[in-house]
Structure 1
Amino acid sequence: MTAVATDVELADRILGGWLGRIAGNMLGKPVEQGEVWTRDRIDRYLRRAAALPLTDYFPEPPGEEDGLDLRPEWRSCVRGRVHGSCRDDDIDYAVLGLHLLETHGFGFSTEQVGDLWLLRLPFLQTFTAERAAYRNLANGLKPPLTATYDNPYQEWIGALIRADVYGWTCPGDPRRAAALARRDAVLSHTGNGVYGAMWAAALVSAAFTAPTVRHALDTALTVVPASSRLARTVRRVASLHDTRMTWEDTLATVSAETAGLGWIHTVPNAAVLTAGLLYGDGDFTRTIALTVRGGLDTDSNGATAGSVAGVLTGASAIPGQWKDPLEDTVRSAVFGFDGVRISELARRTLRLAEATA
C-alpha cells in the first residue's frame, strides 16, 4: 500500500485515530453490559430520550428507571457532562502500547509486554484474560503459559482492544501492524483472540491508505487464517451487506449464527464492529453510532470503530460534538500518564510512525 501523502495528513490521521478511539469508547461506556443492554433495549432507551438517530453522546436517562442499569460511569459519559475522557481499559492499553514502543522499540518481546504491565498497570484495572495473564505473570509463569494456564477467556476481546497503536504506528503496512499485535496478544490470548488483535491492527493500518472502509476490511482479512471463525464471520457480515440487507437484519442474522459465544467473545463483537463500519460507510458519526447501537461490548467496539473512522477522515473532519468535550485530556490508570493530553499522545505516536517510514 502507498504511504500517506504528507506529514501533515499523517499527523491529522493519527490524531483522528486517538480522538475517534476515545470518543467511541465514551459513547459506548454507559451501556457496556451486553447481556443487559441488547440492541433492542439500547434503541428503546434512545427513543424514549428522543435521541434517534444517535448523533451525539448518550442522553441522560429520560426517567429514573432508565438509569438503573447504566454503568456507574454514565454521569461522566453522557452529553453535557463530558469533560475529558473517563478512565477505561480500552484507552489504558493504547497508552500502554505507546509506552511499550517508546521504551523497547518495534523489536519488543512478549515478555517485555508483561514486564510493563506489572510495572505500569494496576492489577485491579485488568479484566478477564488480562487479569488471568497478570496473575500468571505475578506467579512467575512465562508466555505462552501466561495465556493458557487457568484462563477461560483466551478468545475474548481483550487482545483486540490493545491493537490500535500498532496500526497507528505502521500506517499503510498492515502485515507489520498485525505481526506486532500478535506479539502482544499471545501474552494473554490464543486462537480467535489473537486473530482479532491482528485483524484490528491491520484494519487500522489499512485505513490510512485504503480508498474506502470496505477496502480496509478486505485488506485486514488477509493477515488472519481464512478458515478461522473470525474471518468467516467478518466475510459473512460483508456478504450480507452486499445483498443490501438492512443493518438490523444483518446483525440479527449473524447474532443467531454466533449464539452461545458470549457478549465479550471476539467473534460476535467483530461482527458488530464490521457491520458498524460497513453501514457507516466512512461517516464518523454514523459509524460509531451504529457500532454502539449494535450492543455487546459497546465501549470496546465503539473505540475500535472510532479509531478506524478517525483515521479514515482525519481529526479535522471529526464533528465537534465528539472531540470538543474531550478537552484534549485523557484519564488513565497507567502510572505516569493520568491527565496526559490527547494531542501529546498523537505527537508521540507520529514520531514512532515516522521512524518506520
Structure 2
Amino acid sequence: MALSGSALADRILGGWLGRIAGNMLGKPVENGHHWTRDRIDRYLRRADALPLTDYLPALEPPPDPVEFELRPEWQSCVRGRIHGSCRDDDVDYSVLGLHLLETHGPDFSTEQVGEVWLLRLPYLQTFTAERAAYRNLTAGVKPPLSATLDNPYQEWIGALIRADVHGWVNPGDPRRAAAMARRDAVLSHTGNGVYGAMWAAALIAAAFTADGPRAAIESALDRIPPRCRLARTVRRVASLHDAGVAWADVLVQLERETAGLPWIHVVPNAAVLTAGLLYGAGDFTTTIALTVRGGLDTDSNGATAGSVAGVLCGAAAIPPQWTEPLEDRVRSAVFGFDGARVSDLAARTHRLAVLG
C-alpha cells in the first residue's frame, strides 16, 4: 500500500505525536533500577489507574517518597498538569535528526552528524554513549573511533532513540531507513547498539505500509544480521507471543534470558518494546501503556512504541487525551528549536519524505 498526500502527512504527524506522548508517559518512572514492572503497577493500582488509558496520574496525598519516587520532571509530565511537552533527549534527537537531513540531505556522512551535534546540542544534555562520543569529537577524535574510545556504552539504547526520523522520511522503504540510521549510529555505537538503530528505523519505515505491527517487526528484522543478539531477542518475543504466552510472562522470561545486561542496554529494551507492539496489536493506547508498564528505559521505549503506533494509525486516530495536552508545542535543548510546533516539525519531515 503506497501512501501519498494527506494520508502520508497524517502518518508522519502521528509518528511525531506518538513519540512525544509515549516519551511523556514513561518519563516520570524512568529509572530501571528502581521502577521495576511490579513497582510501576503498584503505583498504578494505588492511583486506581489500571488499565492505563491516559498519562500517569499524580498520587494525592503524596506517597512514600522512597517507594514511589518519581523523576524530578514529574510535575509537568503527569495527567492534568501537562502544557506542552517536557524537554527530553528522546525528542531532542528527533529534532536534531530533522535538522541534519534538512542541512545535509539523505546522503549525510557520519562526520556531519558529529558536526551538527557540536553546533546544536549542549554537551550536558547528552548521556552515556552520546556523551562519550561528544567528548571524543571535541578532542578531535573522528568516527568510527569516536564510538569506541573510552566508551563503555556502545551497545546501549542511545542510537535507537535517534532513529525515528530516518524511518519517517523513508515511508515503506525499511532498507534505506536502516542504511541512514547506521550512518548516524556509528558515531557513538557499535554492534547491537548500531543494529538497534537500524532495526528501529526500518520498523518505523515499514509501519507506513505494513499490515500491522507484526509485519513491520518482521520486515525490520530483515535489515539486521539474523544471528545478532538483538535479532534473536526480538524473534524470541515474537515466538512466545505466537505460542499464546501472556504479556507479563513473556517479560519475566526475557528478563531471565537477558539477565546481567544494564537496564539501558538495547537488547532487553528491544524485548520490552517488541512485546508492547505485539500485545498492543496496533491500538495506540494499549501499545504505549504496555510498553511503559514493561519497565527498564520507560521513556525511550514509550517514545519508540508511540512512534510506531502513531505511524500505524495516523495522527487523526490517536485518542485526544494523548495529543491535546501537548498543545502542539515541543520543548527542546537543540539550539533554535525550543518551543517549535509539532505540526511544523511534522510538515518539514513530510517535505523530506516526499523529496526522497
How far did 1:66 drift?
Answer: 4.3
Counterpart secondary structure, 1:106: coil
Matched, 1:28 2:26: yes
Q: Distance in 1 between matches of 2:126 and 2:56?
A: 25
Cα-to-partner distance string for 1:328-353 (whole Å, 9 max, x where unaligned):
00000000000000000000000000
- Contact 1:330 / 1:340 at 8 angstroms: preserved in 2? yes
State whether residues 45 and 66 of structure 1, in contact with CA within 8 Å, keep that contact through their aligned partners in structure 2: no
User: Structure 1: 5+ residue runs without aligned partners?
Assistant: none
Match of 2:132 in 1: 132
1:159 is paired with a residue whose SS is helix
Correspondence for 2:198: 198
Aligned: 1:97 with 2:97:
yes
Query: Which runs of 5 or more residues in structure 2 are unaligned?
Result: none
Cα separation, 1, equivalents of 2:260 and 2:329: 38
Which string of whole-angstrom CA distances, capped at 9 and with x for unpartnered residues, describes residues 190-231 of structure 1?
A: 000000000000000000000111000000000000000000
What is residue 260 of structure 2 aligned with on the other side?
260
| Alignment-derived partner of residue 63 in structure 2 | 65
2: CA distance, partners of 1:81 / 1:348: 29
Output the amino acid matched with 1:284: F
1:64 alignment partner, SS class? coil
CA distance in 2, matches of 1:178, 1:10: 20
Secondary structure of the residue that 1:65 maps to in structure 2? coil
Amino acid at match of 1:8: S
Rate the CA distance shift 1:52–1:12 in 2: closer, same or farther, 3 A.
Answer: same
Find the aligned partners of 1:107 and 1:275 in 2 and give their Cα distance: 33
Q: 2:40 aligns with which of 35, 39, 42?
A: 42
User: In the TM superposition, what whole-angstrom CA distance separates every residue of 1:68-125 from its partner, at most 9, and x where no partner exists?
Assistant: 5210000000000000000000000000000000000011000000001000000000
1:51-90 residue pairs with structure 2 within 5 A?
Answer: 51-67=49-65, 69-90=69-90
1:297 alignment counterpart: 297
Output one character per residue of 1:220-267: Cα deviation in whole Å (capped at 9) or x when no partner.
000000000000000000000001110000000001100110100000
Shift of 1:67: 5.0
Query: 1:151 is paired with a residue of what secondary structure?
Result: coil
Q: State whether residues 61 and 67 of structure 1, in contact with CA within 8 Å, keep that contact through their aligned partners in structure 2.
A: no
Question: C-alpha separation between the residues in 2 aligned to 1:324 and 1:128?
Answer: 33
Asked if 1:227 corresponds to 2:238, the answer is no
- What SS class does the counterpart of residue 107 from structure 1 fall into? coil
Matches within 5 A, 1:266-345: 266-345=266-345
Residue type of the alignment partner of 1:3: A
Question: C-alpha distance in 1, partners of 2:166/2:101?
Answer: 9
Partner in structure 1 of residue 160 of structure 2: 160
Distance of 1:252 and 1:201 partners within structure 2 = 27
Aligned to 1:10: 8
Alignment identity in percent?
77
Q: For 2:330, what is the secondary structure of its paired residue? A: coil
Aligned with 1:55: secondary structure? coil
Cα distance per residue 1:263-318 (max 9 Å; x no partner): 00000000000000000000000000000000000000000000000000000000
Aligned equivalents of 1:116, 1:189: Cα separation in 2: 17
CA distance, structure 2, for counterparts of residue 43 and residue 300 of structure 1: 18
The aligned amino acid for 2:78 is V
1:63 Cα deviation after fit: 4.2
When the two structures are superposed, what TM-score results if normalisation uses the length of structure 1?
A: 0.98
**Residue in structure 2 matched with residue 189 of structure 1 by the alignment:** 189
Report SS of the residue matched to 2:329. coil
Q: How far did residue 65 of structure 1 move?
A: 3.1
Superposed displacement of residue 62, structure 1: 4.2
Give the number of aligned pairs.
Answer: 354
Compared CA separation, residues 232 and 148, structure 1 to 2 (3 A): same
**In structure 2, what residue type is equivalent to 1:212?**
G
User: 1 CA distance for matches of 2:246 and 2:24?
Assistant: 26
Output the CA distance in 1 between the equivalents of 2:87 and 2:65: 20
Runs (4 or more) in structure 1 with deviation over 6 Å come to: none
Inter-partner Cα distance in structure 2 for 1:314 and 1:112? 31
In 2, distance between residues paired with 1:155 and 1:61?
A: 36
